[in-house]
Structure 1
Amino acid sequence: MQIPPPTSIDQLLERAHHIAGWQLGELALALQVQPPQDLRRHKGWSGQLLELWLGASAGSRPEPDFPELGVELKTIPVDNQGAPLESTYICVCPLTGLQGLRWQDSVVYHKLRQVLWIPIQGDRRLPPSDRIIGMPLLWHPTPDQMQQLQQDWEELTEQVALGQVERITAHQGEVLQLRPKAANRRVLTDAIGPEGEVIRTLPRGFYLRSRFTKALLQSHFL
């Protein structure tokens, strides 16, 4: 089933509120999609299902999921107390051609300016079809949050540009972290080495820390 992109923020939120409280299996049935038995080989299935229902149109392009509205969709698995179970992937980090790249021109900035968060029950003992969809939250970073995001992004990006990508650890960054993002250890890409040479390394992705998203959800729902 193909659902057209929403024409307004209100329509997007209406679609999201409509399915709050549904099981993923109910949504899959409405969309005529077969749910998987587990998510080990279908990690992005719930997000793709929500994209289909909400009419996301960006696909894999480096822009918000709803480019006409400037809204990024993020599903977030939570425990029974509503706390995120993992960090949230944002986008791939470019490892070359970083000279002159500004925060305001980065994919991270454009994706996080306005995010529609949809919590999903993440109890791994439950089959995907039984997991419940939570209430949506349309979030805009506060000035303080945006400043912290920018600071982390600039520090991490500078290290990559200076050829220190392989020295970056997941412990760096207050709210934003840089971690390997690849299907396996054989997937390599070009990066800048410590002497300015081209090296081969694992692709990296930007992630929001779970403590950041936990505080974000708590401030809204509690």
Structure 2
Amino acid sequence: MDKNGLPYNPTKIESIVEYAGNLVGHTLREKTSAPELQSPKRRRGSFGNALEEYYFRYSPNSESAPDFPDAGLELKSTPVKHNKSGELVAKERLVLMQINYMTVVHETFETSHLLKKAKKILLISYVWEKDADPLDYKVEMAELWGLPEEDMPQFKIDWETVVSKVRAGHAEDISGSDTLYLEACTKAANSAVRTPQPYSNIEAKPRAWALKASYMTAAENKLREKRQAIARTEDENGLGLLALVRKRFKPYFGMTQEEPCRRFSIGMSGKNLPKDSCALVTKSILGVAKDAEIDEFAKAGIQPKTIRLKKNGRPKEAISFPPFDYFKLEKTPFEDSDFLGYLQQMWLLVIYREGCDGIYKLSDVTFWQMPERDIPEAQRCYEQMQTNVRRGHAEISVKATENRCCHVRPHARNARDTRPQPHGAPVVKKCFWLNASYMQKEIDGALGTDSHN
């Protein structure tokens, strides 16, 4: 027992971490005297508050100083959940600290409050279960952790991307899709709240620095999964991820899709290339084993995808997502939908352009994620199709002319490839698609932005 009556020494990191380890495999109900929750509305954040107050025995606060100031250690708790495959993944982003627009403009990344806050973190993850009392969430991990040194180049780019908008007087234009690992997430009691920014009279949404859920999944599963980082040469150490990927892909620009596959012996025994040929070529070009995950991609939630652009720059094919279940679509709000998850996916677009000879050749690569400003338009498409299903008209799709970003149409082998619906006869399988015209503008914009990086 510490002289302050604590069951650990708050000045020693080793003592704090060792004490935290006693929670692994247990719940707060088993290890503390935390009282029952007074209201279900208090459940969000209640695990973290109870962890601080009843296990570590200090009062929860929003101070900028570390939670264990004498040890220079920050405490962060984060939920994980089982996905459809039974694997543990991060349920949500990990919020690190509020962004102060008025002061962050005077910082550099190296001197930032963020870097000080995230230098040493006691990371405690617990398994979230729907409808379970937070006191009954089982603690899955308690580890000393900090932002990895190998990820600092990308963290710096992400930080500077956000701060540059504040310095330009455009904090209101910040979007989660601007960045890869670190994001400036909205942080307010409701969506109407606004706060001043230093170089504009337009008030902006309050935001906080956070690590994306995909990054947290990769960080927490580092020891559980086979993952391989991209080996960098000395002159590549300061490059951001996109610059590194483009540098590695550049020697292959001008090749047809089949040529890298032949070079790396990918799927050349059959007539058609395998569906995962883009991912396999990407791994081969980046020097990652074909049976391993790319560590940097896992952290940013990036998936490679081949895009063919016609001579006029318009995608040859619209981008499709997996067919949806009509029963699930009827009942699931957009905020909880698989469709929103697909839209929040970060893509490595491997771009092949059509030449004057009609042959498509590798021309560029870029990262893309649907900007936050377009999510409401996609939501409108989702809810329009949802209404069709609820009214017993699942056969009616949302046309590309009805929505700027996306539409619905069949995604089936033939007219007999159907799925049941709640209010009528089975209907041909359908899915959401991103409009080719929309993607043309987005790709043009992404490549234009990349050229200035």
CA distance, structure 1, for counterparts of residue 179 and residue 58 of structure 2: 30
Q: 1:57 to 1:6 in 2, by over 3 A?
A: farther
**Do 2:11 and 2:68's aligned partners in 1 also have CA atoms closer than 8 Å?**
no
Determine if contact 2:172/2:202 at 8 Å carries over to the other structure. Answer: no
| 7 and 57 in structure 1: CA distance in 2 versus 1, 3 angstrom threshold | farther
Match runs of 1:63-142 below 5 Å: 63-80=65-82, 81-142=87-148
Counterparts of 2:128 and 2:161, CA distance in 1: 32
Give the 5 Å matches for 1:118-197. Answer: 118-192=124-198, 196-197=199-200
Alpha-carbon distance change, 137 to 74 in structure 1, aligned in 2, over 3 angstroms = same
Which amino acid counterpart does residue 73 of structure 1 have in structure 2? L
Q: Which amino acid aligns with 1:79?
A: K
On the 8 A contact 1:56/1:66 being kept in 2, the answer is no
- Residue identity in the other structure for 1:36: L
Measured after TM superposition, the shift of residue 22 of structure 1 is 1.2
2:64 pairs, out of 47, 56, 62, with: 62
Per-residue deviation, residues 14-65 of structure 1 (Å, max 9, x unmatched): 1111111111222342xxx213166532311111222232355783111222
Q: TM-score, normalised by structure 2?
A: 0.44
Moved more, 170-179 or 180-189: 180-189
Distance (whole Å) between structure 2 residues aligned to residue 147 and residue 57 of structure 1: 35
Residues 168-216 of structure 1 show CA distances to partners (whole Å, capped at 9, x for unaligned) of 2111111011122100134322114xxx333323211111101111111
1:207 aligns with 2:210: yes
| Inter-partner Cα distance in structure 2 for 1:45 and 1:87 | 16
* Runs of 5+ consecutive residues of structure 2 not aligned to the other structure: 226-453
Contact map agreement 2:184 2:208 (CA 8 A) in 1 = yes
Q: Which has the higher contact order (CA 8 A, sep 6+)?
A: 1
Matches within 5 A, 1:4-15: 6-15=10-19
1:215 maps to a residue whose letter is A
Q: Which runs of 5+ in 1 are unaligned?
A: none
Aligned to 1:47: 48
Distance 1:105 1:115 in 2: 18
- TM superposition shift of 1:158: 1.2
Read off the aligned partner of 1:203 and give its amino acid letter.
P
Note if 1:216 corresponds to 2:219: yes
SS of the aligned residue for 1:76 comes to: strand
User: What secondary structure does 1:83 align onto?
Assistant: strand
C-alpha distance in structure 2 between counterparts of 1:213 and 1:133, whole Å: 16
Equivalent position amino acid for 1:22 in 2:
H
Query: Cα–Cα, structure 1 residues 38 and 79, in superposed 2: closer, same or farther, change >3 Å?
Result: farther
Matched, 1:26 2:3: no
Paired residues, number: 216
Alignment partners' CA distance in 2, 1:2 and 1:59: 18
How many angstroms apart in 2 are the aligned matches of 1:128 and 1:198? 42
RMSD: 2.3
What is the aligned partner in structure 2 of residue 35 from structure 1? 36
Q: How many Å separate the matches in 2 of 1:23 and 1:189?
A: 38
CA distance 1:206–1:167, shift in 2 (3 Å): same
Alpha-carbon distance between aligned partners in 2 of 1:185 and 1:97, rounded to the nearest angstrom: 23
Give the aligned residue type for 1:46. F
Q: What is the Cα deviation at residue 5 of structure 1? A: 5.9
Contact kept, 8 Å, 2:91 with 2:213, in 1: the verdict is: yes
Q: Distance in 2 between matches of 1:71 and 1:146?
A: 19
Could you tell me how far apart the structure 2 residues matched to 1:101 and 1:165 are? 16
For the residue of structure 2 that corresponds to 1:135, the secondary structure is strand
Q: TM-score, normalising length from structure 1?
A: 0.86
Once the two structures are superposed, residues 109-138 of structure 1 have per-residue CA deviations (whole angstroms, 9 ceiling, x without a partner) of: 111111111111111232222211122111
Aligned to 2:400: none
Mapped partners of 1:125, 1:171: distance in 2: 31
Change (3 A) 1:19 1:41: same
Deviation at residue 77 of structure 1 after TM alignment: 0.4
Q: Quickly say closer, same or farther: Cα 1:206–1:140, change in 2 above 3 A.
A: closer
